[in-house]
Amino acid sequence: MTSRSVPMPTERVLADFLGRWEIAREIVPASGPRASFSGHAEWSAAPGGAEYFETGVLHLDGAPPMTAERRYHWAEDLSVRFGDGRDFHQVPPAGGQASHFCDPDTYLVTYDFSDWPAFTVRYDVSGPRKDYVMISRFRRAGAG
């Protein structure tokens, strides 16, 4: 009988994210029109970590396409802050779940790095004001 070792998941570090990525995103609300987003994200080295900036086109069923963008600051320890400096969540280095309470709604964020260098981020957002699932797929820009 041979024993096979199961590979341990690789823990991500901030340097793994630096550079340009393509994003394909689906947004599925509990009710109302679905949406999709396609664009690019870039993590750029900055003091204390990296600046994250994404831009692309948001398609909302029944509406004309619109440009959308967002910014975050990622620290060396993979803690994420909104562009205005407020805490958002902590990325689990091996993938997994994080959460953020934005009164009165809750954001459960799941990072899946199992297909690295491509990865997926899923938001399950629930509360009295928001109720949707958002799945973002990232892959290195220019990676086939």
* In a domain? residue 4: no
* Domain contains 100: yes
CATH of the domain at 103: 2.40.128.20
**Strand ranges, E, within 4-144:** 19-29, 35-46, 49-60, 66-75, 79-82, 87-90, 96-102, 105-112, 119-126, 131-140
pLDDT at site 143: 72
List beta partners, residue 55. Answer: 40, 69
Whether 91 maps to a domain, the answer reads: yes
From residue 81, give the alpha-carbon distance in Å to each of 45, 95, 108: 15, 18, 15
For residue 109, tell me if it sits in a domain. yes
- The pLDDT, as a whole number, for residue 25 is 98
Q: Is residue 10 part of a domain?
A: no
pLDDT, position 10: 84
The verdict on residue 5 lying in a domain is no
pLDDT of residue 6: 45
Return the pLDDT at 142. Answer: 82
Q: Pseudo-torsion of CA 64, 134, 53, 77, nearest 10°?
A: 170
Position 4 scores a pLDDT of 56
pTM of the model: 0.90
Give the chain's domain count. Answer: 1
The whole-number pLDDT of residue 144 equals 59
Task: Kindly state the tokens that stand for 70.
Answer: 């967002």
Does residue 135 form part of some domain?
yes
Query: Residue 96: which domain range?
Result: 15-140
Neighbours of 104 (CB within 10 A): 9
Whether residue 7 is contained in a domain is answered as no
Q: What do you get for the CA distance between the two ends of the chain, in Å? A: 41
Each of the 144 residues of the chain gets a pLDDT tens digit; together they read 445 544 455 899 999 999 999 999 999 999 999 999 999 999 999 999 999 999 999 999 889 999 999 999 999 999 999 999 999 999 999 999 999 999 899 999 999 999 999 999 999 999 999 999 999 999 999 875
